[in-house]
Structure 1
Amino acid sequence: MRESLSLLLIEDDVSLNEELGIFLSDFFDTIDSCGSAEEAYAKYLTSSYDLVITDIQLPNQNGLSLVEKIKKKNPSQMVIVISAYKEVDYFLKSIDLGIYSFLTKPFDSQLLINTMIKATNQLRNQKSKPDSSLVYLHEGVSFDMKTKALHVNEMQQELTTKEELLLYILVKNANTFVRNEQLAQTIWQSDEVNNSTLRALVKRLRDKLGYDECIINLKNRGYKLTAHLS
């Protein structure tokens, strides 16, 4: 059975967006289309995508700024950048951001087809291999130790930097207690953190994990993440 693939497409030209959507539906099972960087990033924060394709010239926010935010959130995200401009600085900036490919408009149809075949084959090969960085904590709940992405029922949860650090160290030591001092040192680089500050951080993370007794506290022992690891 063929691995299903999802795409986030960002293009503010409505007619081109529709044309690309029709063309790319031969390669992707799910396509979310957006006309702005703001709308696209809002979707990215609540969903996961195998590939992101974005134009550079977008209203309000440059497409490369969007790519930068996405790469900061998920460094391994595959991204293809499209542009009507052939300036070297755009190309070099795209390279710096670690994009998969840079395509210029008007498109060379054969190059576009070849790029999609190559990209989707690579994505399916990756999906067919077990991802050792992905940890399943509970039914419908997973955490990627590499990208620090938390998904609950296929929806990516927005985590603050401190929430990411807390979840990372708890997952790394899953089903064993981690002392408050160790958590404070990892998250705040200090041994002296008010217990109420730590409790508030834990509560926010509990709410995002969403399953019963996901994080347990025991006086004088610290906090423990309960997980059914797989």
Structure 2
Amino acid sequence: MDETYKLILVEDDASLGYLLSEYLGMKGFEVLWAKNAKEALLNVKTNFFDLAILDVMLPDMDGFELSQKVKTINPNLPFLFLTARSLKIDVLKGFSLGAVDYLKKPIDEEELVVRINALLSRLVASGSEQGKTTTYIIGDYFLDTDTFELKYKGENIKLTGKEFDLLTLLAMNKNQLCTHKEILTTIWDKNDYFNKKSLNVFISHLRKHLGRDPRISIVNVNRRGFMLRVGEEK
């Protein structure tokens, strides 16, 4: 490979996880092995990956649900499923959720590598390689996900970690609703009353940070969630 691709492997089976991560590493990939869904989500929030490999049967959350949570964090991250399930309905469900491939266990390591190389080559060739856009334009503001900075006309605005994560999620879904559940499970890992109160506080902070551009608003949508709305320039 001309460049090293970074993969996240989510597999709770210790033997298989070790085998696949070692084999893929030998084949030139950089592999992060997460043993459950919670660990996977924490890593997707803080790291760049070219491809996610998700086991369907996980102890804390099935791979189908995990894939949707991953998409709220990074909608451009392609993923494939590994599963012992052989039912056609499960395969169809995987593809309907956006999977780029679906491999049944027991896994043939050589076939997995061939599939991964083919997928990554196709994604790069089609211009679908994720991670190219690392700066979100929010009116007159720029949110840089490489330097973790919010900038307004050249001035850096200091954000806390939670403020940055929350604004990034809203910016990724600009002018679209982010539900309370999506935000809380993504940023706080738990949807409960106390975290919802904290969310309201952080929304207030972000409104102040973004207050210099009157076109920008963070709207509370019918108690369902929040939307980062950016209007047309007047």
If the TM-score is normalised by the length of the shorter chain, which range does it land in?
A: 0.5 to 0.7
Unaligned runs of 5+ in 2: 150-160, 176-201, 217-234
CA distance in 2, matches of 1:51, 1:143: 22
Corresponding position: 1:43 with 2:43: yes
Corresponding position: 1:153 with 2:147: yes
Q: Which residue of 1 aligns with 2:99?
A: 99
Q: Kindly tell me: are residues 199 and 82 of structure 1, through their superposed partners in 2, closer, same or farther at Cα, counting changes over 3 Å?
A: closer
Structure with higher RCO (Cα < 8 A, 6+ apart): 1
CA distance in 2, matches of 1:114, 1:144: 37
TM-score (norm 1): 0.61
CA distance in 1, matches of 2:123, 2:115: 12
Unaligned runs of 5+ in 1: 136-141, 170-196, 207-214, 225-230
| Residue type at the aligned position of 1:222 | P
Q: Which residue of 1 aligns with 2:214?
A: 222
- Structure of higher CA gyration radius: 1
| Contact preservation (8 Å) 2:24, 2:113 | no
| Contact preservation (8 Å) 1:50, 1:78 | yes
- Deviation of the 1:159 alpha carbon: 2.2
SS of structure 1 residue aligned to 2:40: helix
Q: CA RMSD in A?
A: 3.9
TM-score (norm 2): 0.60
Q: Which residue of 2 aligns with 1:52?
A: 52
Q: Kindly tell me: are residues 114 and 75 of structure 1, through their superposed partners in 2, closer, same or farther at Cα, counting changes over 3 Å?
A: same
- Deviation of the 1:90 alpha carbon: 1.6
SS of structure 1 residue aligned to 2:49: coil
Q: Which residue of 1 aligns with 2:195?
A: none
Corresponding position: 1:164 with 2:134: no
Q: How does 1:1-230 map to 2 (within 5 A)?
A: 2-125=2-125, 134=133, 142-143=135-136, 151-153=145-147, 157-159=164-166, 164=170, 168=174, 200-203=205-208, 206=209, 217=212, 222=214
Q: Kindly tell me: are residues 93 and 47 of structure 1, through their superposed partners in 2, closer, same or farther at Cα, counting changes over 3 Å?
A: same
- Deviation of the 1:151 alpha carbon: 1.4
| Contact preservation (8 Å) 1:3, 1:127 | no
SS of structure 1 residue aligned to 2:54: strand
CA distance in 2, matches of 1:154, 1:6: 21
Aligned residues: 174
Counting aligned pairs with the same residue, the percent is 25
Q: Kindly tell me: are residues 100 and 154 of structure 1, through their superposed partners in 2, closer, same or farther at Cα, counting changes over 3 Å?
A: farther
| Contact preservation (8 Å) 2:56, 2:82 | yes
